[in-house]
């Protein structure tokens, strides 16, 4: 059976920018329901007293990509969602929080440099992957950690309506 194409794609206007401005993280179990309107998440219901926590990012340090994984032999496809964020000058309380991130199945909402929010780990959640932290040699080198998260999902990340964000952050 063939899957019919439905859309032509032009070149666009060169008005797009790369990078991630901020990341919101929460335990997947804290998200009770998602409501979608025309494919965009228009409401998020959280468990009582639960919120997303904001991880602000320095310019040009964080990134997000989605990789379409396919197998011709098995007739399968899925999407890997990879997020890398940076925390400079971590404190002992931040290291403790990173330990909690490593123990949880998470969801992330990231704000890209185009002003769009994207929801990572919607179905299966995201997990902290091997990540690198430490300090460089020179005074100008990073003293911090790059946290790597991965989700494996049946579809691309959904866009999130910006109006939802104020209702779910700490």
CA dist., res. 39 & res. 101, Å (int): 28
Indicate if the pLDDT at residue 1 is higher than 70. no
Q: 24, 53 in Cβ contact below 8 A? A: yes
Q: What is the mean pLDDT of residues 46-74?
A: 96
- Examine the pLDDT at 33 and tell me if it is beyond 80: yes
In whole angstroms, give the CA distance from residue 149 to residue 146. 10
pLDDT at 116 over 90: yes
Q: Which of left, alpha, beta for 115 (phi over 0: left; psi -120 to 50: alpha)?
A: left
- Is the distance from CB of 164 to CB of 153 less than 8 angstroms? no
What predicted TM-score, i.e. pTM, was given to this entire model?
0.91
- Say whether pLDDT at 10 is over 90: no
- Kindly calculate the radius of gyration of the chain based on its CA atoms and give it in whole angstroms: 17
pLDDT tops 80 at residue 170: no
pLDDT reading at 24 higher than 90 = yes
pLDDT at site 74: 95
In this prediction, residues 107-136 reach a mean pLDDT of 96
């Amino acid at each position: 059976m063939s899957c019919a194409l439905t859309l032509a794609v032009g070149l666009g206007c060169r008005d797009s920018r790369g990078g991630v401005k901020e990341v919101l993280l929460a335990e997947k179990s804290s998200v009770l329901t998602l409501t979608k309107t025309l494919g965009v998440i228009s409401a998020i219901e959280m468990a009582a007293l639960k919120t997303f926590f904001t991880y602000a990012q320095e310019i040009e340090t964080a990134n997000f990509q989605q990789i379409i994984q396919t197998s011709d032999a098995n007739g399968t496809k899925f999407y890997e969602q990879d997020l890398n964020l940076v925390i400079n000058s971590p404190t002992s309380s931040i290291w403790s929080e990173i330990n909690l991130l490593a123990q949880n199945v998470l969801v992330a909402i990231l704000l890209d440099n185009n002003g769009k929010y994207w929801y990572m780990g919607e179905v299966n959640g995201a997990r902290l992957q091997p990540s690198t932290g430490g300090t460089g040699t020179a005074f100008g080198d990073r003293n911090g950690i790059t946290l790597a998260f991965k989700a494996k999902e049946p579809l691309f990340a959904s866009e999130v309506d910006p109006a939802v964000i104020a209702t779910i952050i700490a």
